[in-house]
Structure 1
Amino acid sequence: MTTPCPDTKGYFLTLSCPNRPGIVAAISQTLFDAGANITEAQQFDDTGSGSFFMRIMFDVVKGGRTEADLRGIVDGVAREFGMDYRLHCQSYRPKVMILVSKFDHCLVDLLYRWRIGELPIDPVGIIANHPEDTYRDVDFYGIPFHYLPVTKDTKAQQEARILELVGESHTDLVVLARYMQILSNEMAAALSGRCINIHHSFLPGFKGARPYHQAWNRGVKLIGATAHYVTRDLDEGPIIEQDVERISHADSPEDLIRKGRDIERRVLSRAVRYHIEMRTILNGNKTIVFTS
């Protein structure tokens, strides 16, 4: 993006680098010299890895800087400290592709939150491995729908088509909204850092199929859901958000599934919001999440 960002919107900046004295002072001075006013700042020093993480919100109050200008300015301090950083205007709306299978509760929730303005995203497509009439009660609001059935023999071709659609639409984020297909290693790698999955279990426990039945068979007293970034390792990507709900011996597997749907919806929506507000920073096999 190279267009000016409205002063009232401002920017997000996240960064990570090896920890050393002077990082906060240097980035603060750099932004001040660029005519910026910091409105919010959060930081974390991971003593275990020796890494430093920071999220900053700021407004450009003078100078009329474009995002390209700011990137050039931040590049200097980033090189000095060996920083990886991301910078976006706060009015930026990422393009999101949603993948779904039979169960549509997470899809419907994301579309609702988008429609009322709670999630500032631009949905560019819905991809499903079930036909459109499976979702006949769902209003897609004109979002393109792509029916891409998949079998063991057609998986490679189906995933290639998904990646084509992601590329053609300039998708920034792929959301697996209860998409019940295991991504190949190649596809997981292609979407690294920009694909969020909702797992209907409190990972790392009860991975794979029928987790609520697994939980019921073990007599658990809490069930939950986990949103995480997708990696080559099945259901082991960096965790973004989790939540739980208490259950009892009187709950059936169907009760667990019903309660689990509510947890899944809210966990996924929070994870997507954290990502698009640049509140997440990858830290190896974990995430730093600067919640509001």
Structure 2
Amino acid sequence: MSTENRNQKSMELDRLSIKEMTRLMNEEDATVPIVIQENLDAINQLIEAVFERMERGGRLFYIGAGTSGRLGILDAAECVPTFGISPEWVQGIIAGGEKAVVEAVEGAEDSSELAEEDLKRVELSEKDVVIGIAASGRTPYVKGALRYAHSVGAQTGSISNNVDAAISELANFPVEVATGPEVLTGSTRLKAGTAQKLVLNMISTVTMVKLGKAYENLMVDVQATNEKLVDRSKRIIMEATECSFEEAEKYYQESGSVKTAIVQILANTTMENANALLEAHQGRVRQSIQSTH
């Protein structure tokens, strides 16, 4: 596995100055987007599969161990406030459970049976998608998760950082972002983890935009859970409609919904009709507005 090999550029790492180490790490990190670009076709196919299942009411599960599991949990958690979705829609599962988010749980990643138990606990079904994440591409926990997902008819994808990964053989839509040897040998929280985070950003963001969670490039389903986000909600309405702050505030206070306010203003309609339009178009702002022209 290339992720376990020694990086020839960092053989004298412990002798380098701070300035030399940060420059080397930065140079190595700069290779990650290039490798991702080379794998965009595979990433696109995985996203299309995720979107197809979620559009029909399915859920998305990220599953992994260690850093890979933590990154899945991070992406899943951030989908809730960013896109205003239920925590059930996108979930991260890590080998060893919640304890493993902050500390290592010995042996958890070596148990394929544990993965099956974890997926049974969330009542995985044929409607859902499971994406296994493993830098090595061979973590038993992730392999067990993908095998169980297949057994119930769920869609499957994988993200690994080595070519010819074992989990690729178990996934319908494998993504192999081979980031190569780390500056600190075997520390896959570095380039491999960065690559995983970037791919997860793409999966969740593109899927949610396709599901109608954005208008133009605006987060129209953002959850206004604090004063800052309430203010952002009003400014999103302003950006989308070119109305004044006072108008945005008026429409937002009336409906409590960024989407409803935007449709009201741009379609020149009532709050009730705006809500009806959004319901008829699965919450998609652009289609709701276009349907009135």
Give TM-score, length-normalised by structure 2: 0.36
Give TM-score, length-normalised by structure 1: 0.36
Higher relative contact order (CA 8 A, sep 6+): 2
- Identify the structure with the greater strand proportion: 1
